[in-house]
Structure 1
Amino acid sequence: MRLPSTERLSVLVVEDEPLIAMHLKLCVEAFGHKVCGVAATADDAIELGLTHRPDVMLTDLRLRGGTSGEHAARVLFETIGLRAIFVSGNLDPDMRAQLSDLSPIAMIMKPFGIQEIERALSLVRPPPQS
């Protein structure tokens, strides 16, 4: 599915497993969106988020160096209002409750199908074009 250029999203991918990060990037691009960056740590995600101000972030919870996708999502949500699609194998009911105050767009369990990513991205509304 390709979207008109006015509906393309800017997406930040936050994933420390290189093959999964590449798969997510290819999925996002196949759906007609732009990946503004790929981060493997919370610090890198925060820096890329503040620099590029994407429409949404696709993020895992456990990241390289013992850092947390939840931390990155929380900082970016509180500073620039960036909402997340969480893609993780660690989305038990307690974690879902812990993430609820971040107004997540979706929570997708690993392993995931590309249709789940496409469906979650379809819920994101890009800002109006000026």
Structure 2
Amino acid sequence: MSSDLAKSIGRELPYLRRYARALTGNQTAGDNYAAATLEAILADRNLIDGNDVRVGLYRTFHAIWQSSGQPIAEADDNNRARQVQSHLAGLTPNSREALLLRTIEELRYDQIAEIMGLPQDEAEELVQIALNEMGRAIRGKVMIIEDETIIAMDLKGIVQAMGHEVTGVARTHSAAIELAGERRPDLILADIQLADGSSGVDAVNELLVSMGELPVIFITAFPERLLTGDRPEPAFLISKPYSEEQVRSAVSQAMFFASSQGIEAA
């Protein structure tokens, strides 16, 4: 493998891992799929087109994903695994993959079509189907950790328009802990840099220790700080500036993987 190609793959790998984690709902499972993708490329360099390394990576990943037939990782709680599988089984095939590629990875429809081996109009239709199917499947309580008032209000409006309840908005680490203590959320939307210089990551980690497993979506202008591979990374990560479609997609996906924690299907 040439040095230039290796560098190109290295630049794209954190984002492939992000996609894999969002798809599986699990960091370990997602990273295993990403590793299998790299192994396949090392075995057959022709899988990567020199003109578009990113598309080649995702196309190889998609082929492995489809052949494995494993929509989520094995869970410690088999009841949880079965429940999530049941929800996912009700979705149109390939729709969730198309949605993530479009909204989280921000690929063009022609790129998604090439990755998935579909006509472009079908790729576009799958994204809309997924938004509709996932958006009406689960309802829950969402807490927002965000210090910028305009962004916080925008996120609140998007989440409420989806039919979820917003438990409140916290601007600092301490406010987040207090808010979560008043009412347990089903999902947390969090920035990583807060008003008083405190860390949204630290606030979330503290909440996870005290409250147990909760789905978290980080929305940040500094995604590279959470895509290092050196620490536990979030399954859902959106870059600022974000689009409403990205937020809707991530919230819907995250709610699916929290469906065993008392969130009711609509």
TM-score normalised by length of structure 1: 0.86
Structure 2: gaps (5+ residues): 1-131
SS in 2 for 1:70: helix
Q: Is the 8 A contact 2:139 2:263 kept in 1?
A: no
Distance (Å, rounded) in 2 between the aligned partners of 1:84 and 1:99: 19
Match of 1:42 in 2: 173
1:1-130 correspondence runs (5 A): 3=136, 7-81=138-212, 82-92=214-224, 94-97=225-228, 101=232, 104-123=234-253, 124=255, 125-126=258-259, 127-128=261-262
SS in 2 for 1:77: helix
Distance (Å, rounded) in 1 between the aligned partners of 2:176 and 2:242: 21
Distance (Å, rounded) in 1 between the aligned partners of 2:215 and 2:237: 12
Post-superposition CA distance 1:79-99 (Å, at most 9, x none): 11233100000110x432379
Q: Is the 8 A contact 2:141 2:166 kept in 1?
A: yes
SS in 1 for 2:196: helix
Aligned residues: 126
TM-score normalised by length of structure 2: 0.44
* Structure-2 change in CA distance of 1:46 and 1:32 (3 Å): same
Runs (4 or more) in structure 1 with deviation over 4 Å come to none
The sequence identity of aligned pairs, in percent, is 35
Distance (Å, rounded) in 2 between the aligned partners of 1:39 and 1:27: 17
Distance (Å, rounded) in 1 between the aligned partners of 2:196 and 2:153: 19
* Structure-2 change in CA distance of 1:53 and 1:22 (3 Å): same
Cα displacement (A) at 1:106:
0.5
SS in 1 for 2:241: coil
Distance (Å, rounded) in 1 between the aligned partners of 2:230 and 2:182: 24
Distance (Å, rounded) in 2 between the aligned partners of 1:80 and 1:65: 24
Distance (Å, rounded) in 1 between the aligned partners of 2:263 and 2:161: 22
Q: Is the 8 A contact 1:85 1:104 kept in 2?
A: yes
Q: Which has the higher contact order (CA 8 A, sep 6+)?
A: 1
Structure 1 stretch displaced more, 47-56 or 60-69: 47-56
